Copies of this chain bind each other. A is one copy, B any other.
Amino acid sequence: MRIAILGGDGFVGWPTCLHLSAQGHEVHILDNLSRRWIDTELGVQSLTPMDSIQERSRIWKEVTGETIRFHLIDLSREYERLRQWLADHRPDAIVHFAEQRAAPYSMKSDRHKVYTVNNNVNATHNLLAAMVEAGLDAHLVHLGTMGVYGYSSVGAPIPEGYLDVQIDTPSGPRTQEILYPTRPGSVYHMTKSLDQILFQFYAQNDGLRITDLHQGIVWGTHTDQTRRHEQLINRFDYDGDYGTVLNRFLIQAAIDYPLTVHGTGGQTRAFIHIQDSVRCIELALRDAPARGDRVKIFNQMTETHRVRDLAQLVAKLTGAQVKFLPNPRKEADENDLIVKNDQFLALGLEPTTLAEGLLSEVVDVARKFAHRIDRTRVPAVSAWTRDIARRVERDPEGKALKSVS
């Protein structure tokens, strides 16, 4: 297949490109490289030394003989170029990672909120409008997030996108299937909730074939392909905005930094290893909906864990300390989370769950590049509201928290 990978220079995008290229697909990356620009803005860098996308692609060609093509296009601002590219190249499938993906970054300031909504909504909508205009019947696979469900459980396992509900009508109760009522917890997560409505409309009005993957928190760094050459290494974020929870614990352990748990650490989250993430995208691509079908939604995760349990696990493995800090997010202290992922299991996914070996691999990578870490950038400082920001500022060490717990 000819596959366009939007945002193919990113953390999951790049290993996806390699995975699909290794399987013989013709891979085209469309990316505005905004993630590299944000590194510059924030004054941080990937823990791993990451080459330019052009250089990475050259190495891939050298190692495998396969070509990955790169096209510098800004989906949210260059509608006409996007449409023309789609009309010219007519990909069979499109994998869409091209959105600002960090919740803390999206809550950093009003400017970051405005950027995230503008960038993400326009990128997705431009893509949909361009597909229709180009008369393209490509299968669109979009990376969503488990965060669209919210974490105030209805008391039942979270289904894959759709929920059966009973509604009282004058002629008696009636069962109906609805999109799971969304309850996003940050501006970033909200944009993925908006995407769902865009997809629903374009599937219904224009018959676009769309799969939406509600992904959990990705951990790990290597995949089978990124291991093949040191210059194929994946990006690896450790800073308070882009670093995600399990990977951050592993990095903190590697540099003798206490594992920073926010609040009580009672938040339960869904996780997936990056190797499984790229495998899921392969499986989703094979299982395309038919024209006229509703949007297909998968939960792309393999296990759930409570944050403080993960901290304890990593502490036990590495000897690191655990430190409880005030939570900069507005969220419930504790939540349960049971998630269905039957569809990917049925398609043949064999989950890579938390194993000491894989955890150690991440710590090893972090130790190797520990000299590149700016320890001052490790704390997560983006607060969800001004009140929370003031509270964190008054008590950065979480002393009040400790006296309570």
Contacts and interface: CB of A to CB of B under 8 A. Distances in A.
Interface of A: 79, 83, 110, 113-114, 117-118, 121-122, 125-126, 129-130, 132-133, 135, 154-156, 163-171, 173-174, 176, 178-179, 181-185, 187, 190, 193-194, 197-198, 200-201, 205-206, 330, 384-386
Given A83-B110, A165-B165, A386 B171 contact: no
A183 B178 CA distance: 10
6 contacts: A118-B122, A155-B174, A163-B167, A178-B178, A179-B181, A181-B181
A330 B113 CA distance: 34
Contacts of A174: 154-156
7 tightest A-B CB contacts, nearest first = A165-B165, A166-B166, A155-B169, A178-B181, A156-B169, A110-B133, A117-B125
Contacts of A181: 178-179, 181
B184 A156 contact: no
Contact of A126 (B114, B122, B170, B183): B114
Contacts of A197: 182, 184, 190, 193-194, 197
A113 B135 contact: no
Given A79-B110, A79-B114, A184-B201, 9 more contacts: A110-B133, A118-B122, A154-B176, A156-B167, A156-B170, A156-B174, A165-B167, A166-B167, A178-B178
A384 B154 contact: no
B118 A132 contact: no
Contacts of A190: 197-198, 201
A142 to B, nearest CB: 16
Q: Which of A83, A113, A156, A182 has the most CB of B within 10 A?
A: A113
A120 B166 CA distance: 33
A172 to B, nearest CB: 9
A84 to B, nearest CB: 12
Nearest to A184: B201
Contact of A166 (B113, B173, B179): B173
Contacts of A187: 201
Contacts of A164: 167-168
A200 B190 CA distance: 10
Contacts of A173: 166
Contacts of A205: 185, 330, 384-385
Contacts of A183: 200
A155 B166 CA distance: 12
A118 B200 CA distance: 18
Contacts of A193: 197
A111 to B, nearest CB: 8
A117 B122 contact: yes
B114 A129 contact: yes
Nearest to A163: B167
A393 to B, nearest CB: 17
A396 to B, nearest CB: 22
A165 B163 CA distance: 11
A194 B199 CA distance: 12
A194 B195 CA distance: 9
Nearest to A76: B118
Nearest to A128: B113
A176 B135 CA distance: 41
Contacts of A83: 110
Contacts of A126: 114
